[in-house]
Amino acid sequence: MIKNDLYLKALRGETVERPPVWMMRQAGRYLPEFMALRDKYDFFTRCQTPELAAEITVQPIRRFPLDAAILFSDILVVPQAMGIDFKMVESVGPWLETPIRTMEQVQQIEVPNVEDTLSYVFDAIELTLLKLDNEIPLIGFAGSPWTILCYCVEGKGSKAFDIAKSFCFRNPEAAHLLLQKITDTTIAYLKRKVEKGVSAVQVFDSWGGMLSPEDYQEFSWKYINQIVEALSPLTHVVVFGKGCWFALEEMTLSKVSALGVDWTIRPEFARVLTNHTMTLQGNFDPARLNSTPETIKKMVNEMIERFGKDRYIANLGHGILPNIPLENAEAFIRAVVDWKPN
C-alpha cells in the first residue's frame, strides 16, 4: 500500500484535507544535483540508463514534500523506439536529421515491440519504485500522438509548427497513418508501464493549442481518446493539453480521471467547462515562480480557494523553468502542503 495516497484520492474524486501537489518537470534542470548529472551524461544517456533515470526521478522527492513522483524520461523515446532517430542538440533541442514528410516515409515506420525497444524505461520504473519504497505514487507519461507528430514532421521545436500542420492538411491520409502508428505504440508503452507498477499515466499534448478546435478533434483528441479508452480500465489517466481550454467540455465526456489546465484559463471557468465533475490539475504560471516566496504563497492559497480543495491537484500550468530558485520551488510546494481552509 502507498503510504501517501493523497494524489490517488484526488484522482478518485474523494474528499481530502488538502490538495496533493507535484510539479511538471520536477525532476529536472532547476536542481543542482540534476545539473551535476547533466554535466557528466548527455540527455538520452540519462533517459536510457535505468539507474540514472531512477536517481533523477527521486532527486526532488528527497528535497521537497511532494505527493507524487513522475518518472524521468522524454516523450521522444516513443518515436525513437519506432526507428525515428531523434537527437538532443545543445542550444537547439530535439533534432531529426530527416523529418517525416512523405507517405513513403510513414509507411516504412514500424509499430515496435515496446518490450524490446523501451525496456530501459521499464527497468527504470522497477528501480524507482524500490527507491520510493511505497511512500508516494509514481506517474508514467507519454506525449500525445499529435505532439509527437509535430516533432517528427517539423524535425525540431517550433513556435507554430507550420510545417507539421501543412503536412496534415496536404497529406491527411499520411498524417492519420502516422498518428495511428504513434497511438498504437503509445498504448502498448503505457500499458507496460502500468504492468511495471506506475499508479497513473499522464498524456502531454504540449502543442494541441496550435490547432483550431475543429482540427484538434481530427488530429489530436481522436487519438488521445484512443489512449484513454485503452488505459482507463487499467489505471488513472490524466490528460494535459496546453492551450486546449476549448476542448475541456469534450474531454470531460471521456473516461479521463483528471484534466490538466494551463495558466491562461481562470479556475472558475475551467470548473464550468468541466461541469464541476472533473478533477483538475494546474494551473500556476511557471514564470510566476520568479516572484518572491511570500507572493508565491499568497497566489497558491488563492489558486486553491478558486479551484476548491477537492477534485483538485495543485501543479504548474506547464513545466518548471530552469532558472527558478530552489527556495521559490519549495515555497510553491510548501504553500500547498501547509494550506488550511479559511
Residue 127 makes CB contacts below 8 A (sequence gap 6+) with 50, 51, 53, 54
DSSP-assigned letter for residue 156: B
Strands 86-89 and 93-96: antiparallel
CA dihedral 229, 276, 137, 128 (to 10 degrees): 60
Q: What CA–CA distance (Å, rounded) separates 250 from 246?
A: 9
* Known catalytic residue at 25: yes
The three three-digit cell numbers of residue 68, written as one number: 507524487
**Residue 74 annotated to the active site:** yes
Q: Of 12, 29, 63, 306, which residue is the catalytic one?
A: 29
b/e per residue 39-62 (b: at least 16 CB within 10 A): eeeebeebbbbbebbbbbbbbbbe
SS in 3 state form for 313-331? EEEECCCCCCCCCHHHHHH
Active site residue 38: yes
> Which one of the listed residues 30, 151, 189, 216 is annotated catalytic?
151
d(CA 30, CA 14): 33
Note if 30 is an active site residue: no
> Could you tell me which residues are annotated as the binding site for substrate?
25-29, 44, 74, 151, 206, 318
| Residue numbering of the annotated binding site | 25-29, 44, 74, 151, 206, 318
Cell 554535466 belongs to which residue? Answer: 39
Which is catalytic among the residues 7, 18, 46, 74? 74
Question: Which single residue is written with the C-alpha cell 531523434?
Answer: 86
- Of 25, 123, 215, 306, the active-site residue reads 25
Q: Are 206 and 147 in contact (CB under 8 A)?
A: yes
Catalytic residues: 25, 29, 38, 74, 151
